[in-house]
Amino acid sequence: YTTVITYGTFDLLHFGHLEILRRAKDLGDRLIVGLSTDEFNLEKGKVCEFSYERRKQFLESLSYVDLVIPESNWEQKTNDVISNDADIFVMGSDWEGKFDFLKEHCEVRYFPRTKGVSTTELKKIIKKQ
């Protein structure tokens, strides 16, 4: 029974998000997503279009996602991995190497980002309408 965990803001959910969630789920039986809270997003310098509850609703509607937990700081990943018995930690390649400290607790995998889509780009398109 393999548990996979990943983290993100997942604002304006798009196929780049779907791709990494699909690939993460494909590695195991259960996928947990640490979803950045609105407050933590401010710390990350991100302003979301959708609230935490809305973004959580979107993720929970996906067959790939089994559990959504709040991500409220940079320090919680090790405890999350341990307390959820996560076997594999997954992030997109823009984070390559940044979470290798988790390797003493679980496998760490970075997947290539999906080209041609980003929340930032989507916002630009929407704002032009």
| Chain positions contacting ligand C2G, by CB under 6 A | 7-10, 16-17, 20, 36, 44, 71, 91-92, 94, 113-114, 117-118
Q: How far is the CB of 1 from ligand C2G (least distance, A)?
A: 23
Marked catalytic residue, from 25, 44, 77, 128: 44
What is the CB neighbour count within 10 angstroms for residue 49? 12
3-state helix, strand, coil split of the chain in percent (to 5) is: 40, 20, 40
What is the CB neighbour count within 10 angstroms for residue 23? 18
CB nearer ligand C2G, residue 1 or residue 51:
51
Q: Look up 44 and say whether it is catalytic.
A: yes
CB nearer ligand C2G, residue 30 or residue 58:
58
Are 43 and 76 a contacting pair, CB within 8 Å? no
Q: How far is the CB of 2 from ligand C2G (least distance, A)?
A: 19
| Residue whose Cβ sits closest to ligand C2G | 92
The token pair at 37 is: 């809270």
Q: Look up 128 and say whether it is catalytic.
A: no
Distance CA 127, CA 119 (A): 12
